[in-house]
Amino acid sequence: MATLRLGDIAPDFEAETTLGKIHFHEWLGDSWGVLFSHPADFTPVCTTELGTVANYYPEFVKRNTKVIALSVDGLKSHLEWIKDINETQGTTVNFPIIADEDQKVATLYDMIHPNANDKFTVRSVFIIGADKKIKLTLTYPASTGRNFDELLRVIDSLQLTANYSVATPANWKEGEDVVISPAIPDSEIPTKFPKGFKYIKYYLRTTPQPNK
């Protein structure tokens, strides 16, 4: 299938998970979502990743975001592996892991890259908005663990820019100044951004984060 692009509707599916059977779009409801794949159970980098997500779980909840993992291993393997994750990472895995032995979901989301490995999924990440549209895609090689602080930062940016005519500059973090959309004329800025603004260039104007 064609590669999924930003703005596409995230493909719907039904799957068995460690927390029961789900219908993906129904499970998401009106939440944002993060779907991320890992190459295999009982592997070192993946163990640290799923432990990190479990420890960060309250941060995702704060952002009205559900997280769900996937690998092409089976449910029994997942459940055994979770015991290791909880033990070694000092956590409790409290989000579902999809058992995708038939690679149905992995194929739907183009998570298997034959030039990297023709059996296991790469480290794919999809951030999905409450409108079920794909807002971000990332692909990491199997050898590189993901930075979940960055994923939270991206969610903060996506949720902010979905509601205000702003963009977030390089290395932006929650609470810092943002960039006003070039489509907003100077004359409208005082009304739209009552906190004030800084004029740097006609195309570069900044303002304090509007929802803080």
Is the pLDDT at 118 greater than 70? The verdict is no
Report residue 103 as tokens: 């690679």
Residue 123 in this model has a pLDDT that exceeds 90:
no
At what angle are helices 44-62 and 75-89 packed, to 10 degrees? Answer: 80
Domain with CATH 3.40.30.10 in the chain: 14-148
Whether the CB-CB separation of 200 and 206 falls below 8 Å is answered with: yes
Per the DSSP assignment, residues forming a β-bridge with 144 are: none
Is the confidence at residue 117, as pLDDT, over 70?
Answer: no
Mean pLDDT, residues 181-199: 94
CATH 3.30.1020.10 fits 164-207, yes or no: yes
CA 45 to chain CA centroid, nearest Å: 18
Residue 212 burial class via C-beta count within 10 angstroms: exposed 0-12, middle 13-18, buried 19 and up: exposed
Instruction: Output 148 or 120, whichever has higher pLDDT.
Output: 148
H or E element in which residue 50 lies = helix 44-62
The overall longest dimension of the chain from CA atoms, in Å, is 61
46 is catalytic: yes
Q: E strands within the chain?
A: 14-17, 20-23, 32-37, 65-71, 97-99, 123-128, 134-140, 166-167, 178-180, 198-201, 204-207
Confidence of residue 120 (pLDDT cuts 50, 70, 90): low
Give CATH 3.30.1020.10 domain extents, the chain.
Answer: 164-207
pLDDT at 102: 87
Asked if pLDDT for residue 122 goes beyond 90, the answer is: no
Sequential DSSP letters for 169-188: -TT--TTS-EEEPTTS-GGG
Which two tokens mark 10?
């995230």
Q: What tens digit of pLDDT does each residue of 22-32 get? A: 999 999 999 99
User: Picking from 41-55, 116-130, 181-195, which range would have the lowest pLDDT averaged per residue?
Assistant: 116-130
Q: Does pLDDT of 40 surpass 80?
A: yes
Residue 129 has pLDDT above 90, yes or no: yes
Amino acid 10: pLDDT: 97
Three-state secondary structure call for residue 142: coil
Q: Residue 45: what are its φ and ψ, rounded to 5°?
A: -65, -45
pLDDT 10s digits, 45-103: 999 999 999 999 999 999 999 999 998 899 999 999 999 999 999 999 999 999 998 88
Catalytic residue selected from 46, 111, 127, 155? 46
**Quick one: tokens of 1?**
């299938």
Instruction: Give the model confidence (pLDDT) of 145-188 as tens digits.
Output: 999 999 999 999 999 999 999 999 999 999 999 999 999 999 99
Hey, which CATH number is domain 14-148, 3.40.30.10, 1.10.730.10, 3.40.50.11540, 3.40.250.10?
A: 3.40.30.10
Whole-model pTM?
Answer: 0.91
Q: What is the pLDDT of residue 54?
A: 97
d(CA 17, CA 105): 12
User: Rounded to 5, what percent of the chain is helix, strand, coil?
Assistant: 30, 25, 45
